[in-house]
Structure 1
């Protein structure tokens, strides 16, 4: 099994340069900031955070990569306060036009919620999708929807965020 995984990774690395032109503005390391709407347990607020990731050209007009994010929220409900939000996701994108990437993502999320003077971390699955617009070869603007489903049966969290970032 390890041999098959290694062979797949090697094939992707060797073929990536051939696909680089089709996915040019959407490959490589990136970092950005996000802000937007957040809803947790029926309460609404404002979310803000930072993201970092790395994307590779997987096939003509297809990218794949990883993303990590750290965020916070102003959601404050009856007896609770949603705060720190960490996530690690895999992204798969399709280059719709030379300047627009449509992507989907899925991954792990851990959110901290403070209630009655104590804090608890809730873990779950984060999924979502959005669009990324290459404003310049190194600058992008993004808009996305994120849904987090927590394991502890406490419901989910919805966020609609916009962002700006830079590719290196």
Structure 2
């Protein structure tokens, strides 16, 4: 009798645990964390011509985390990121003739959503969008005198990419565009184009 009860208990536990295990083993599902790095192009100008404003390229890097829900035909996720960059951009004749304004990109905060379509168990393509808040450090020069300041500017980010899964690890290749609008009371429009690689792990 005890053996029969034990066997029945094993069958019940196995029956209940199997769907749960299958659910937990879904690809592109659950919490994740990763490190990201890539190519960053920072634009600053008034948009009135190629000679107005400037752009610089450099290196962007950061850490990201989030949670994905695999709903079968698509994946819905939330994510956040904090990053930094080595680039800056400049413009002349912003307030007065002969002046120069240099903007350097500082820390960047991002929060948004991601919508993906699994191609198979190891490949997913996705699009993303959300809010980004960029810290800009400013140096303003007029008549050989320089003043420094900083400001945080909110904007939006749109992106698309592909994610490759291998066990609990994953890798991503992603393009994204961020628009922060004008800086303070100037006509200096700020935006960024980035191509980023991310390596991370799911839990």
Query: TM-score, normalised on structure 2?
Result: 0.69
Unaligned runs of 5+ residues in structure 1 are 1-16
Q: Structure 1: which 4+ aligned runs deviate by more than 4 Å?
A: none
How many Å apart are 1:163 and its aligned residue?
1.0
How many Å apart are 1:20 and its aligned residue?
4.4
Q: After TM superposition, list the pairs within 5 Å mapping 1:67-86 onto structure 2.
A: 67-78=79-90, 79-86=102-109
How many Å apart are 1:80 and its aligned residue?
2.1
Q: Deviations over 1:81-121 (max 9, x none)?
A: 11101000100000012100111001000011101221111
Q: After TM superposition, list the pairs within 5 Å mapping 1:1-168 onto structure 2.
A: 20=23, 24-41=26-43, 42-58=55-71, 60-78=72-90, 79-116=102-139, 117-136=148-167, 138-152=168-182, 154-168=189-203
What secondary structure is seen at the aligned counterpart in 2 of 1:98?
Answer: coil
Distance 2:162 2:110 in 1: 19
Q: Deviations over 1:134-158 (max 9, x none)?
A: 022x100111011011233714211
Distance 2:66 2:117 in 1: 16
Distance 1:61 1:139 in 2: 21
Query: TM-score, normalised on structure 1?
Result: 0.82
Paired residues, what number?
148
Aligned residues: CA RMSD:
1.8
